[in-house]
Amino acid sequence: MGSATADPWKPLATSFFRRPAEDVATDLLGRYLVREIDGRRRTVRIVETEAYLGARDRASHAWNGRRTQRNASLYLPSGHAYVYFIYGLHHCFNVVTRGADEEGSAVLIRAGEPIAGEAEMIAARGIEGAVRPGQVAGGPARLCQVLAIDRTLDGALLRPSALYLTRGEAVVADLVAAGPRIGIAYAGEAATWPLRFAVRGNPHVSRPRL
């Protein structure tokens, strides 16, 4: 199409993530998340994110400056992965954002739309028959399952290798919906902050829909 159209497969520079988590969370919508396994690629287009603001955010694992063995990766420089295990079953994948300026801030990747390798993703989910949108990578744990993201990737730098992000197809501001984050009712006032973002009307977004 247009000659000025950027290559959607060009990796995002580390500087992309060196901004407040809220900005990164909205700007990540539409970008590609690429997972390479044995030379094969699985790719999703990110359609839903949440920002976690670090020490001042009661919903954040870095709330009040908490540092533990589990959340150590939250304190790595911008552009690293923070992967944790939750509920005894699931993994969740975050990108560390601002680094030294605002330690512990990150963006949770909540849902993606399959772009490449969808058959492998469906196999990884163990689902059969008619697959509906959102059933594949709609939800942070499902997304990790289909991309085989686990704690072996915790602390990894997100550059072209096993797991990285590319320019993808960015979303205009009018198509970004915002609302309160999911599963953090314990977080007091922070539970009401509109830090969940999704591509408006996209069927691959997790529930409850924004």
Of residues 78 and 94, the one with the C-beta less far from DNA: 94
Q: Considering the rule CB under 7 A, would residue 206 count as an interface residue with DNA?
A: yes
Question: Which residues, listed in sequence order, are joined to residue 107 by a DSSP beta bridge?
Answer: 51, 95
Amino acid at 203: P
Amino acid at 38: D
Q: CA 112, 164, 53: angle at the middle one, nearest 5?
A: 70
x-or-dash string of contact with DNA, 33-52, rule CB under 7 A? -----------------x-x
Q: CA 137, 141, 145: angle at the middle one, nearest 5?
A: 65
Segment near DNA (CB under 7 A); pick from 9-17, 55-63, 116-124, 169-177? 55-63
Long-range CB contacts (< 8 A, 24+ apart) of 185-190?
186/58, 186/59, 187/57, 187/58, 187/59, 188/58, 189/58, 190/57, 190/58, 190/59
Q: Which of 59, 195, 205, 210 binds DNA (CB under 7 A)?
A: 59
Residue 206 Cβ vs DNA, minimum distance, rounded to whole Å: 5
Of residues 5 and 69, the one with the C-beta less far from DNA: 69
Q: Considering the rule CB under 7 A, would residue 97 count as an interface residue with DNA?
A: no
Q: Considering the rule CB under 7 A, would residue 172 count as an interface residue with DNA?
A: no
Segment near DNA (CB under 7 A); pick from 7-15, 25-33, 114-122, 183-191? 183-191
x-or-dash string of contact with DNA, 121-150, rule CB under 7 A? ----x-------------xxxxx-------
Kindly report whether the peptide bond that precedes residue 208 is cis, defined as omega within 30 degrees of 0. Answer: yes
Q: Considering the rule CB under 7 A, would residue 99 count as an interface residue with DNA?
A: no
Question: Rounded to an integer, what distance in angstroms lies between the CA atom of residue 43 and that of residue 120?
Answer: 11
Q: Considering the rule CB under 7 A, would residue 12 count as an interface residue with DNA?
A: no
Cβ–Cβ < 8 Å for 52, 94: yes
Q: Is the dihedral of CA 99, 102, 108, 114 positive or negative?
A: negative
Count of residues near DNA by CB under 7 A: 36
Q: Considering the rule CB under 7 A, would residue 77 count as an interface residue with DNA?
A: no
Name the residues that contact DNA, by CB under 7 A: 50, 52, 59-62, 66, 68-71, 74, 82, 85-90, 92, 94, 106, 108, 125, 139-143, 151, 181-184, 186, 206
